[in-house]
Amino acid sequence: MTQRKPQSLADYTPLFYPALMLMVFFVIPFGTMMAVSFFQRDVGGFYTPDFVWDNYERFFSLFFAKILGFSLSLAMLVSLICVTISFPFTYLLTRCERKTQIIWLIVILSVLSLSEVIIGFAWSTLFSRTAGIGNILVWLGVAEKSTALYPGFGAVLTAMVYQALPYTVLVLYPSLSRFDTSFLEAAKTMGASPVRAFLNVLIPVQRNTILATVIMVFVFALGSYLLPQILGRPQHWTLSVLITDQAIYQSNMPFAAAMAVFLVLMSLALVGLTLLIGRKSEAPA
C-alpha cells in the first residue's frame, strides 16, 4: 500500500472526531485544572481567580517532597517487581500450546475485571488477623499466633503488584510471542546454558520492550489511590491520595490542582518516552 499526502481539507475529516473528543475530555479539563492551580485560596475553603505561584511553592516543601519521593519510589518498585515476575512467566506462556495460552489469557483478563475497591478489601481480608494468611501460617507451624499483616508498606506493595501484574503480562505478550526462538537455539548450540541464553540473548533483544513496560506500569502505579489508603498508614499514602485529601477534606482546590497538574505532566512525559522507545525499536537497523 502506498501513502498519499492530503490534498484538501476533506482529507483531514477522519481526524475531526478524535480531535474533538481529545479537546472535550482532556484539553478543556486539563486547561481548567491548570488555571485553578494558579488561583488564590481564601479563608473558609473558597478561592478567587488569580495568578500566584504559592500552590507550586508549597508543593515543593519538605513535607510534600517526601510524599512525592515515596510515590515515585513505590511506583518504580512496583514496576520493577512486575516486570521481573511477568517477563519469564510470559515467555514460558508463549512457548505453551495455543489452548493453554488462551486459558491463561482468560484468567488474566478476569483479574482485570476486578475493581481497585474489590482488590483492596480482598487483600485486607487476607492480611487480617482473624481470617487471613496469619491463620494459615499458624496451621503450618511457621508462626505461634495469628497477627494482622496490615496496615503497612508490605501490604500496599503486594496489592499494587497484584493489580498491575496482569497489565504487565498483556503488554509483554505480543513482543515475546513474536520472538524468534532460533536465537536461543543458536546460543545453546554454541554451549550456552538455558539460563545464560535467556539472560544474554532474550533480555537484550527485548530491552526496548522491557523498558517501555516498566514505564507504562510506573505510570499506572503512580495513579494508585485506594490501595495505599485501604492497606497503608498515612506515611504510606501516595500523591494521588494527598490530592483527594486536599481537594475534598481540606477544601484546598488550587493546591490539589497544582499537584494534579504535576502528576499529569509527569505521566504524559513518561508516556511520550514510551512512544519514543517504541519508534526506535521499530526503526530499521
Query: pLDDT digit string (tens) for 81-120?
Result: 999 999 999 999 988 888 898 898 888 888 888 888 888 8
Question: What one-character-per-residue DSSP string does 216-231 give?
Answer: HHHHHHHT--HHHHHH
The predicted pLDDT at position 2 comes to 54
The cell 519469564 sits on which residue? Answer: 88
As separate numbers, helices (DSSP H) first and strands (DSSP E) second, the chain gives 15, 2
User: Residue 153 corresponds to which cell in the numbers above?
Assistant: 508498606
pTM, 2 dp? 0.80
As a whole number of angstroms, the distance between CA 185 and CA 188 comes to 5
The cell 497544582 sits on which residue? Answer: 258
CB atoms closer than 10 angstroms to residue 178: 8
Of 35-49, 159-173, 203-217, 228-242, which gets the smallest average pLDDT?
35-49
**Whether pLDDT at 192 is above 80:** no
Of 104-118, 128-142, 243-257, 258-272, which gets the smallest average pLDDT?
128-142
The structural domains of the chain, ordered by start, are 65-178+206-282 (1.10.3720.10)
